Structure 1
Amino acid sequence: MRRAPWIRLLLWHASAAVPVLGAAAAFYGPALARTGGAWPAPLDDVYIHFGFARAAALGHPFSWIPGNGYSSGGTSLTYPLALAPGYLLGFRGAWLGLFAALLACAALLDLCRSLRRLLDPRGGPGAASSRWVGWIAPLFVVAVPLLDWSWFSGMEVALLGAVLGRALVAVRRAELAPPARRPAEQLRAGLLAALLVATRPEAITLAAPLAVAVAHAAGSLGAAASLARASLPTALLLGAHAAANRAFTGEWGAAGAVRKLLLSNPYPTPLEKAVEVIKNLAALRVQALESALGGPWLSLVLPVLGAVAALDRRSRRVAVPLLLGAYGSLLLVALNATARYQNLRYAAPSLAMLLLAAALGAEALARRGRLAAGVAAALAVAALAAPSAGFARQIDHFARASANIAGQHVEVARRIAARAPRRVLLGDAGAIPYLSGIPAIDGLGLGGYRGMPFARASVHGVPAVVELIERLDPAERPDVFALYPSWWGGLADVFGRRVDAVKIEDNVMCAADEKVIYEADWSALAPPGERRAGVIDEVDIADLVDERAHGYAFPSPRGGWVIGAVLPGGGDGAGGDGAPRFDAGRLIPEGREQSFTIDAVAAIARGPAVLALRTDGGGPIALGVAALRDAGGEARVEVPERPANRWSEIRVPLRDVMPGDRIRIRSLLGTFRSFHVWLLRP
């Protein structure tokens, strides 16, 4: 006797809930035991989302901390907005993680529902032999332990899965809709594709093929108009986001891209960057697409089933984008300098897409008759069983990583809160500021602070970060640090006094086993707005704000490395009282040059000037200095050996300069350690 449709649907939902909730319990249970009852988070980055969610709930969307201003450091635009209601409902502190867990489970169940709709044979040929695939669809969602680790981590991956499923269903609906309804369905697919990218930027590798698939199924509507409806929402989202970033931070890209992408690093050569990309790809392929899926041979089952779906007329408009998106996303995240770390979490979207494509392939094969259905069943069993050996290891890693975050970051947050400082400087925008409630500056730039380029400065080097702190009013400067000493040489050891530390054992996730708390001493920094007497213009080298204002160019790649020093003043009017003064600079290798443009709006008259160059100690060097508009050519300046324990100054007369002139300084002999440039009246 056939069951009523509503009974079958109820049974299906019950059968879907079992693997999803079972997998959640398998990960959260041991982790809760390790954290002593605190809600587990295996990544400090989870708390970055929580910080953005709290700010959104308090009426400051797209801010990390209320008062810090707009931040582009939130990797997901949508996830904090999805978490914000939980904060308003009373899920505060680490317990916002419980709301995130409930949201993850709901999102995965929604993904299962979407996958079931994609697999529905609609009573066509082979429907009876393929119906079983819909019943095992939830197993595809939770079959890979490495992916489950990310599903339940508290990050945006589960929400991405739910949006992914709905976007695929929308593409299918746009394909099957009658002509009168097809434009609306195409636009719906385009909006969901944009939401996909807003949830995780790498999803652009799926959103673009989905738009093409919609256009391919346009029929009588025309491909161009259909492509516009499917792609314009994503294009408008990307354009608006880039424009907001540019307006509020001075960068077109998001802070995460500036900080993490290999392309943002100015020092390596293109070949060196390419080598790192290849290393990332190799690690992702071996660890995420082989080991995590059951080994070199069994891991081929997923792409084989995906290929079957791509060849099937009914499923190809969804399966082809999934395969392109999976491997395209992997190529894109290989540009991320951290792609090989944090338990390969950046590979999670690729794994999700491959699993969905494989489920479609199993259904497509099962529709071919009994023999094909048997082959499909065997391949499905292999695809689902092969990764299972990794469950114990991934569950244990999840628990240990959660214990690391609770034992180090959460504990440091507690101690920082007890000290009640004015503001804390840290190198991870996660649990410490969120749980302590103390205003903070993230030295790596993911948190954002009033539009200052901390993300790019952290790529250039620690002294460049200090230069930005020097720009702050002394009352705004952090009075406490919570840093890894090995990450922040030249800051923690120079401007901090160690007062506390938290050390963990069995570290599998934190950047180091010890995080140190310091009291700050910024006495070596210049007061904001300090100006040397007689200055026409000046360039504070390695201060990225000042460099940008002067169109400063340094030799890159393999040159211009940022350095810093604290030395007594040299009678030059800036720290001339002999007190130690900090300055950052750049190394200009022999044969290379730096250049800048004199402030074009400076109220100075055309005429002679003196170029004063600050450097530190070292052996003899020779410089070539030229005002490029001046036909007098380049002046060679011989610089004798300088003492190592104080700042030194090199003076170069310029015959004729005016606002807008380009000044070039070449290192003719030896490496020039360039810290500061002043243009003085003669």
Structure 2
Amino acid sequence: MRRAPWIRLLLWHASAAIPVLGAAAAFYGPALETTGGAWPAPLDDVYIHFGFARAAALGHPFSWIPGNGYSSGGTSLTYPLALAPGYLLGFRGAWLGLFAALLACAALLDLCRSLRRLLEPRGGPGAASSRWVGWVGWIAPLFVVAVPLLDWSWFSGMEVALLGAVLGRALVAVRRAELAPPARRPAEQLRAGLLAALLVATRPEAITLAAPLAVAVAHAAGSLGAAASLARASLPTALLLGAHAAANRAFTGEWGAAGAVRKLLLSNPYPTPLEKAVEVIKNLAALRVQALESALGGPWLSLVLPLLGAVAALDRRSRRVAVPLLLGAYGSLLLVALNATARYQNLRYAAPSLAMLLLAAALGAEALARRGRLAAGVAAALAVAALAAPSAGFARQIDHFARASANIAGQHVEVARRIAARARGPRAPRRVLLGDAGAIPYLSGIPAIDGLGLGGYRGMPFARASVHGVPAVVELIERLDPAERPDVFALYPSWWGGLADVFGRRVDAVKIDDNVICAADEKVIYEADWSALAPPGERRAGVIDEVDIADLVDERAHGYAFPSPRGGWVIGAVLPGGGDGAGGDSAPRFDAGRLIPEGREQSFTIDAAAAIARGPAVLALRTDGGGPIALGVAALRDAGGEARVEVPERPAGRWSEIRVPLRDVMPGDRIRIRSLLGTFRSFHVWLLRP
């Protein structure tokens, strides 16, 4: 007796819920035991999303912490907005993770539904189909949860599960645009374009899928015309990217997001192109071996997924979805290989690629199953191999998930608890300095500045400064009003040499055993002492203009250029003598600078608004101790050429000043300083009245 359609649908939903909820229980159960009942989060980045979600719920969207201003550091624009209702419903503190888990399960079930629709006969749910096709739709949910490495990310509390749901709906929209009658096709094409844009808003690497999907929509345009169809499918994504870049530029001074500035290898000014290429190759090798090989069952069995995907790409019915999936999967992998952290955090950046490959493989199994009994048998064998091969990794990934959750609870959550306890004491901290740590400000309730820049702080370029070096971060803190400066640090000492050890006094620490996910096993709490920093707005007498080297705000204002690559490295020191620039005895004063290797140069432009008439001036250059050097100094407009300046050995342990007379300068002139002999340690430049 044939079951009614609604009964079959109900049974299918039950069969989909079992593997999804079973996988969730398999990961969350052991993790809850290791955290002592606190909701598990295997990545501290989860709490960064929670911070953005809380800010959105409190009326500050796209801010990490209310009061810090706009931040482009969130890796997903949409995920915090999806979490914000949970915060409003009462899922506060770490228990927002429970709402995230419920959201993840719902998103994965939605992805299963989308995959089932893609596997239906072309005529839709009511179309006739052979008995050799139906089984693929029934096992479709197994493709979603078959890879333990991907499941780790699905249930981590990050945006990956939401990405999966949007991915599924975008694919269905492309299929609908392909099959819709001409009168409805423009609306369906626009719908596909909007979902592709939502895909990119959820995870920026998805641009590698959104672009091929737009081409697929245009390829199926029929009588509508390819150009107009391509516009409808791609314009939403283009507008999103343009609006996001414009917002970043307006609020942070950077076109790119803070995550790209901080993490992309291309943003690092010091390595050569060849050195960057080597790092990209290392990332690609690690991603291929660990994510596309070991995680899928080994060198040979891992080929089953791309083989099934290739079958789908060759099939006339599925190619317009399968080809973009394969291009998106491998394109995303190439894109994330540019990320300096691609090999870490349990390869979470490879999760979108794995999801795309699994969906393409399911389409390939369905394409084979349509071709008769023998082909269906081959499809079944390949599907079993694809689903069974990764299963050996479940125990390891579940154990890693639990241990990582214990690490985050034992270190980041514990540091948050201790800082919150300090807030109840007589010396309550007003602001904590940390490095890309989400749990500490979210759970402690103490405002924070992220020294790595992903949290954003009033448009200041902390992300780029952190790439240049720790002293450049200190220069930005020096710009803050003393009442704004962090009075507590929660840092890894090995990451923050020259800051934690120079400006901090160790007062507490949290050390964990069996560290598998944190950047170091000990996070230290410091009390801050910024007495070596200059007061904001301090100006030396007689100064016409000045460039504070390694202060990225000042450098940008003066069009400062340093020798890159393999030069211009940021350095810092706290030394006496010349705190006022005059070279006399004074209390120790901090300054950051750059190393200018022999034969290389730095240059800057005199502020066009500088209060100076055309004529002579004196260039004062701050440096520290060292052996004899020689500099070549020139005002590029001055026909007098370059003046050679011999600088004798300077005493160690104090600031020194080099004075160079300039014959003819005016606002807007470009000043060049070359290192002719030895490496010049350049810290500060003043232009003085003669």
Task: Identify the TM-score tier after normalising by the shorter chain.
Answer: over 0.9
User: How far has the Cα of 1:492 moved from its partner?
Assistant: 0.2
Deviations 1:134-167 (A, max 9, x none): 0000000000000000000000000000000000
Q: 1:29: which partner in 2? A: 29
Q: How far, CA to CA, are the matches of 2:408 and 2:139 in structure 1?
A: 35
* Maintained 8 Å contact 1:129/1:373: no
Aligned 8 A contact 1:129 1:370 in 2: no
SS at match of 2:650: coil
> C-alpha root-mean-square deviation of aligned residues, in Å?
1.3
Q: Deviations over 1:511-547 (max 9, x none)?
A: 0000000000000000000000000000000000000
Distance 1:109 1:124, change over 3 A: closer
- Alpha-carbon separation, structure 1, partners of 2:262 and 2:125: 53
Q: Per the alignment, in what secondary structure is the counterpart of residue 59 of structure 1?
A: coil
- The verdict on how the C-alpha distance between 1:124 and 1:638 changes in structure 2, with shifts beyond 3 A counting, is closer
Q: Distance in 1 between matches of 2:97 and 2:263?
A: 25
Structure 1 623/124 Cα, relative in aligned 2: closer, same or farther at 3 Å? Answer: closer
Report if the CA contact (8 A) 2:579-2:587 is conserved: no
- 1:504·1:514 contact (CA, 8 Å) conserved in 2? yes
**What is the rounded CA distance, in whole Å, between the counterparts of 1:122 and 1:222 in structure 2?**
23
**Offset from partner CA, 1:111-131 (integer Å, 9 cap, x none):** 000000000024699988766
Contact 2:432 2:448 in 1 (8 A): yes
Q: Secondary structure at 1:432's aligned position in 2?
A: helix
Say whether the 8 Å CA contact 1:127–1:367 is kept in structure 2.
no
State the alpha-carbon separation in 2 of the partners of residues 536 and 124 from structure 1.
75
Indicate how the Cα distance of structure 1 residues 649 and 338 shifts in structure 2: closer, same or farther if over 3 A, else same. same
Alignment partner of 1:282 is 2:285: yes
Does structure 2 conserve the Cα–Cα contact (< 8 Å) formed by 1:126 and 1:367?
Answer: no
2:490 to 482, 495, 500: 482
Query: How far apart are the structure 1 equivalents of 2:314 and 2:476?
Result: 55
What whole-Å deviation, never above 9, does each CA across 1:581-604 have from its counterpart, x for those lacking one?
Answer: 000000000000000000012232
Q: CA deviation at 1:575?
A: 8.5
Unaligned runs of 5+ in 2: 422-426
1:667 matched to which residue of 2? 675
Distance 2:179 2:428 in 1: 61
Aligned pair in 2 of structure 1 residues 574, 365: CA closer, same or farther (>3 Å)? farther
- Within 2, Cα distance between the matches of 1:194 and 1:429? 29
The residue number in structure 2 matching 1:186 is: 189
> After superposition, what is the alpha-carbon deviation per residue over 1:184-237, rounded to whole angstroms, capped at 9, x for unaligned?
000000000000000000000000000000000000000000000000000000
Cα contact 1:202–1:333 (8 A) shared by 2: yes
* In the alignment, structure 1 residue 171 sits paired with structure 2 residue 174: yes
Q: For residues 130 and 63 of structure 1, do their structure 2 counterparts lie closer, same or farther at Cα, with a shift above 3 Å needed?
A: farther
Give the whole-Å Cα distance in 2 for the aligned partners of 1:420 and 1:296. 56
Which has the larger displacement, 410-419 or 541-550? Answer: 410-419
- Would you say the 8 A contact 1:48–1:431 is kept in 2? yes
Asked whether 1:640 is paired with 2:648, we answer yes
Deviation of 1:657 after TM superposition, in Å, equals 0.3
In structure 2, the CA distance between the partners of 1:473 and 1:575, relative to structure 1 (3 Å rule), is: farther
CA offsets 1:276-309 (integer angstroms, 9 cap, x no match): 0000000000000000000000000000000000
**Alpha-carbon offset, residue 573 of structure 1:** 3.8
Distance in 1 (CA, whole Å) between partners of 2:417 and 2:475 is 29
CA contact (8 A) 1:420 1:438 kept: no
User: Is this contact kept in 1: 2:583–2:657, CA < 8 A?
Assistant: no
Q: Distance in 1 between matches of 2:124 and 2:79?
A: 39
- Equivalent in the alignment of 2:424: none
Q: Measure, in 1, the Cα distance between the counterparts of 2:346 and 2:160.
A: 14
Offset of 1:428 from its aligned partner?
A: 2.0
* Cα deviations by residue, 1:484-531 (Å, 9 ceiling, x for unpaired): 000000000000000000000000000000000000000000000000
Q: Is the 8 A contact 2:574 2:589 kept in 1?
A: yes
- Structure 1 position 416 matched with structure 2 position 419: yes
Give, in whole Å, the separation in 1 of the partners of 2:444 and 2:584.
40
SS of residue matched to 2:52: helix
Q: Given the superposition, is the C-alpha separation of residues 128 and 302 from structure 1 closer, same or farther in structure 2, using an over 3 Å criterion?
A: farther
CA distance in 2, matches of 1:127, 1:243: 47
Contact 1:533-1:573 within 8 A present in 2 as well: no
Give the % identical residues: 99
CA distance in 2, matches of 1:310, 1:326: 13
* Superposed displacement of residue 645, structure 1: 1.1
In structure 2, C-alpha distance between the alignment counterparts of 1:110 and 1:571, rounded to whole Å: 63
**Corresponding residue to 2:204 among 197, 201, 206:** 201
Change (3 A) 1:575 1:583: farther
In the TM superposition, residue 574 of structure 1 has moved relative to its aligned partner by 6.6
Describe the superposition over 1:631-668 as per-residue Cα deviations: whole angstroms up to 9, x where unpaired: 00000000000011110000000000000000000000
Q: CA 1:456 to 1:575, structure 2 compared with 1: closer, same or farther past 3 Å? A: farther
Cα 1:228/1:513, change in 2 over 3 Å: same
Answer whether contact 1:74 1:446 (CA < 8 A) is retained: yes
Give the CA deviation at 1:33: 0.2
Q: Is the 8 A contact 1:126 1:369 kept in 2?
A: no
- Per mean C-alpha deviation after superposition, the further-off stretch among 127-136 and 517-526 is 127-136
Rounded to whole Å, the distance in 2 between the matches of 1:382 and 1:75 is 34
Quickly say closer, same or farther: Cα 1:124–1:455, change in 2 above 3 A: closer
Q: Is the 8 A contact 1:56 1:81 kept in 2?
A: yes
SS of 1:519's equivalent?
strand
Q: Provide the residue aligned with 2:14 in structure 1.
A: 14
C-alpha spacing 1:541/1:130, structure 2 compared with 1 (3 Å): farther
Residue 122 of structure 1 is matched in structure 2 by 122
Describe the shift of the 1:126–1:376 C-alpha distance in structure 2 as closer, same or farther (beyond 3 A).
farther
- The alpha-carbon distance between structure 1 residues 271 and 130, as it changes in their structure 2 partners (threshold 3 A), is farther
Any unmatched runs of 5+ in structure 1?
Answer: none
Distance of aligned partners of 1:659 and 1:130 in 2 relative to their CA distance in 1, 3 Å threshold: farther
Q: Give the 3-state SS of the residue equivalent to 1:560 in structure 2.
A: coil
CA distance in 2, matches of 1:347, 1:667: 45
Give, in whole Å, the separation in 2 of the partners of 1:9 and 1:433: 45
Q: 1:653 to 1:185 in 2, by over 3 A?
A: same
Aligned partner of 1:503 in structure 2 is 511
SS of 1:128 mapped into structure 2: coil
Residues of 2 paired with 1:470 and 1:482: CA distance? 19
Whether the 8 Å contact between 2:583 and 2:656 is mirrored in structure 1 is no
Q: Secondary structure at the match of 1:252?
A: coil
From 321, 339, 344, the counterpart of 1:318: 321
Rate the CA distance shift 1:571–1:242 in 2: closer, same or farther, 3 A: closer
Q: Distance in 2 between matches of 1:542 and 1:125?
A: 63
CA contact (8 A) 2:51 2:438 kept: yes
SS in 1 for 2:94: helix
TM-score, normalization by structure 2 = 0.98
Contact residue 130 and residue 363 of structure 1 kept, 8 A:
no
* Inter-partner Cα distance in structure 1 for 2:172 and 2:130: 19
TM-score (norm 1): 0.99
The alignment partner of 1:649 has SS state of strand
SS in 1 for 2:129: helix
Offset of residue 405 of structure 1: 0.2
- State the alpha-carbon separation in 2 of the partners of residues 436 and 642 from structure 1: 48
**SS in structure 1 opposite 2:495?**
coil
Return closer, same or farther for 1:628/1:422 CA change in 2, 3 Å cut-off.
same
Rounded to whole Å, the distance in 2 between the matches of 1:199 and 1:449 is: 23
Cα separation, partners in 2 of 1:122 and 1:174, compared to 1, 3 Å: closer
> What residue number does 1:92 align with?
92
2:222 is matched with 219
SS of 2:538 mapped into structure 1: coil
Q: CA deviation at 1:569?
A: 2.2
